[in-house]
Amino acid sequence: MSVTTEDIFKMSNFKLHLTLEEAETEFSCLMAKIDPAEYNSFLTFIKKHWILPDLARGFNTIGLEKFKLSTEDFDSKEYILDDPVAILNSIAQDIKERIPFDATLPSENIISPKSGENSDCDPKITLHVDEFLYTDDDVDELVEAGKLNRYFCQSCGSKNVKPFIYISHSMSKDGLYHIFNNMLPALEGKTVLDVGSRLGAVLYGAYVYTDARKIIGVEMNEEFCKLQSDIIRKYEMDKRVEIMHNKIEDTEDVVRTSDVVILNNVFEFYLSEAAQIKIWNFLRSNIKKGALIVTQPRIETTFSQLDTGIQVDSWVRPIQSNASTSEDFQFFASDKNDVNSTFTEIACYEVL
């Protein structure tokens, strides 16, 4: 039997004004009574009816008139600062205003891969569209507005066209939700390291979605370090988030003490194959036993093109995602038509 919000408000013992402590206690008692097999469905119900779509727009106005309340009784700024999706969207907008449309900087040295899945990324037919800054819907709108092209003409004036190759050096917001809610365990008291943090997307995702004690980004580009530092200060994340302007191979102590190491398309477009092999062996030697490694693409995919000399199955073991196609994720994902295949190249491993 479905219980509506109106039914809840009609309950005779309904107390309108609970303190936060009272609400947390009542919620904990309620969760203790629920069959564990129903936890996810219940949390999905909460998200669907109490967070989205009404709260995503600022407030849940259901039933407010019954108690003569208005949205003025709530602090919209405080709400936004407590909502992970709103925070990430706000950060993305701030970053858009500070960097070029393609999210690349003149100070970067981007190298077109000579082998592997991205060897077709010829600069002449490749467009950088940052997935943290622009969702698929954003891209569609940009194309419709004539600000972005999907196709190029192979012979001017003809119908002989091919699609541009879109690449991103950042994790999408859906990807961040997936990693920190579906792939990784609770991170309270843990240290998360993002190698090549660039715009800082993984750092912001780790901050809003986890209770990690320390979140560290190592980035060798000074301009990106400044950008990340500015964002972290603006959103008051500096108690848990730290930016290091350095090469990863020069941060041995940080690598050795990290509980989670995230590698998102981190080396292929920036380093020679010889340099990549050197860094992978550095990581192999320094990431501690029991640590988790999250990579995109999969380590197996990367090593199929690099002669690292590392035996994958003697270094790490794959960890299965908790709920890559869960109802929760399908509800939040921006691309609901391709939930099953969106993150096939994001993988999690435990170091043996």
pLDDT value of position 191: 98
Q: What local confidence, expressed as pLDDT, does residue 171 receive?
A: 87
3-state SS track over 127-148: EECCCCCCCHHHHHHHHHCCCC
The domain locations on the chain are 19-83, 177-351
Give which of 82, 79, 181, 169 is closest to 133, Cα–Cα: 169
pLDDT at 337: 42
Architecture per CATH, 177-351 = 3-Layer(aba) Sandwich (3.40)
Q: What is the pLDDT of residue 49?
A: 59
Q: DSSP letter for 348, please.
A: E
Q: SS3 for 245? A: strand
Question: Residue 292: which H helix or E strand, with range?
Answer: strand 292-296
Tell whether the torsion through CA atoms of 31, 76, 58 and 94 is positive or negative. Answer: negative
Q: What is the pLDDT of residue 322?
A: 61
Question: pLDDT at position 215, please?
Answer: 98
| pLDDT of res. 145 | 73
Q: What is the pLDDT of residues 250-281, one digit of tens each?
A: 999 999 999 999 998 877 666 788 888 999 99
Which residues of the chain are under the pLDDT cut of 50?
12, 52-81, 157, 159-161, 324-340
